[in-house]
Amino acid sequence: MAIERPGFDFASRDYDNIKRDLLARAERSVPEWTDRDPSDFSMMMVDMWAYMGDILHYYIDRAAGEAFITTATQRESVLALANLFDYTPRNRTAATATVYVSNTSSGSAVGTVPTGTIFAASTDDGTALEFYSTSSVSVSAGQANVPVTVREGKKVTAEQLTTSATGQVGQRYALSKTNVLPTSVEIKVYEDGVNYLQWTRVDDISLVASGVNAFSVYVSANNTTEVVFGNRLSGRVPPTGSTIVATYNTTNGSTGNIGSNKIRSFKTAVSAGITIASSTAASGGSDGETVESLKTSLKSLLKSQNRVVTIQDYVDTAQLVNGVEQAVARYSANTSGGGGGSVTIYALPYVENYEAPTGSSASVTIAVPSGIRSAIKTKLDALSMLGVTVDTTSAGAATLTAYPRAVTVSVTAEPNYIASSMQSLIEMLIKRLFTLNNVRFGQDITLGQVYRLVHSVPGVQSSTVTISGTGWTGASEIQSPGTAFSLICNNSITVTVTGGISTSA
């Protein structure tokens, strides 16, 4: 017996195709129905069915896309994929700065700036910020410009997560504040209600041995933070009835990267005579990984398969370290014979003012924080093959060099276009070439790139582009300014537009 074909194309998923297929089936199933007038009730039902099918298929497609790295768009979906591959996302970090204080007291009095002293600051747009000192500093009478290290954010102390733990495996407790600095979370568990035990924070609770007092921190897609405990096989479970208390810091992330002398006053009391002389620019604050950077990190993780063999494996793994925007690696063979050798890692950290750096017109030095270099070495040493050493401290790895480029553009506009609007748009497009996520080690911008951007703006009749800077030859091909481990940055962008419509009255 032949199987009857359904006569319906299941690939028809939009309104027009669904309606067409429904009417074609109606011709076979109900041939006596011939009225196709839009006012016909049956036609209305066909329209409604096609409309409903179009919407359902749209959501089905969106839901299916969230299951794959390349097509996922929602942060929650990408975080779930990261968890599937045991990848810990890079969370937000707090900006740090140095405040210089003086003691104007006379005599032999010694003033102190205690740990946790709160300083008041503000951004250029007036947003109020707080910084707190990370250690206690003593300042003798008459002493000036004593450095105090401060970190942006607020401290939340002794927040009770529960007064009666369930005793079940996999306990999770949400912190009340958002924008938590995950590395600052401290947990105390009062098992007898009086005395507490300090539990240890780990990156992954599933990797902890049984019986260890440990917890991990998970940041959800909506920026809430949870403290996660073990399941007896991996980590100990807080006993039934325990009181669990959390202490942690919050941070504004990249907003805390403020300019010099923006930290102006104390919010908590300090010794008499202690005054603020000046402060450095705050740097190092970041908002954690975006959806796009998460997807890039996951692809790097999958390529390296949690092992480092090739040079690209070293690069991919180094880029998974918190605070690393991009990296490049260089291999040096063992000159004494045999195997092994050395791999030097050049890592570009997050730099708040990369698009407008401070420094000479010849070169700009970018310091790679020791914490980042140490984290890279620790991660790679554990995965490298026997005999291969990882170097993150040699010349060029501890400090990177960026070479500024000056771009000058002269544009002739068509008569019916506004010159000032064209100028602003061209400047914005060129600035994007120098953003942190667009620069690459050993890569330069080209004249062709700039010309294409300029002429992508409507109204450009003709243009002249010049690029200058140390090491720039004026050639149209990519030209590295120094070694393959150097970078370019922005020096100045000058755009002049003649012709067009002037808005000045």
Per-residue pLDDT at 505: 44
Question: What's the pTM?
Answer: 0.62
Q: What is the pLDDT of residue 480?
A: 40
pLDDT at site 225:
93
- Rounded to the nearest 10 degrees, the angle between the axes of helix 311-318 and helix 370-381 is 130
Q: Which residues pair with 497 in a beta bridge?
A: 411
CATH number of the domain located at residue range(s) 155-250 in this protein: 2.60.40
Residue pair 279/97 in contact (Cβ under 8 Å)? The answer is yes
- Report how far residue 251's alpha carbon sits from residue 287's, in angstroms, rounded to the nearest whole number: 9
Question: Element (H or E) spanning 322, and its range?
Answer: none
Q: Residue 473: its pLDDT value, please?
A: 62
What is residue 453's predicted lDDT score, i.e. its pLDDT? 92
Beta bridge partners of 97: 150
Give the C-alpha separation, 132 to 266, whole Å. 10
DSSP state of 309: -
Per DSSP, the three-state class of 77 is helix
Give backbone dihedrals phi and psi of 174, rounded to 5 degrees, phi first: -90, 135
pLDDT at 336: 66
Q: What is the pLDDT of residue 474?
A: 56
∠ CA 497-502-505 to the nearest 5 degrees? 145
Taking the chain (505 residues) in consecutive chunks of 10 residues, what is each chunk's mean pLDDT? 54 86 89 88 92 92 87 87 80 90 84 92 87 92 91 93 92 93 93 90 87 92 90 92 95 89 90 90 84 81 74 86 84 71 86 67 81 88 84 82 89 91 92 84 84 93 89 51 69 89 65
Which pLDDT value is given to residue 284?
81
Question: What contacts 4, CB < 8 A, 6 or more positions away?
Answer: none
CA 479 vs CA 198, 427, 459, 476: distances in Å: 55, 23, 31, 8
Residues 320 and 87: their CA atoms lie apart, in Å, by 9
Looking at residue 476, its pLDDT comes to 44
Distance CA 157, CA 80 (A): 30
Domain residue ranges in the chain? 15-65, 96-153+253-279, 155-250, 291-400, 402-501
pLDDT (0 to 100) of residue 477:
41
**C-alpha to C-alpha distance for 419 and 212, rounded to whole angstroms:** 67
pLDDT value, residue 1: 47
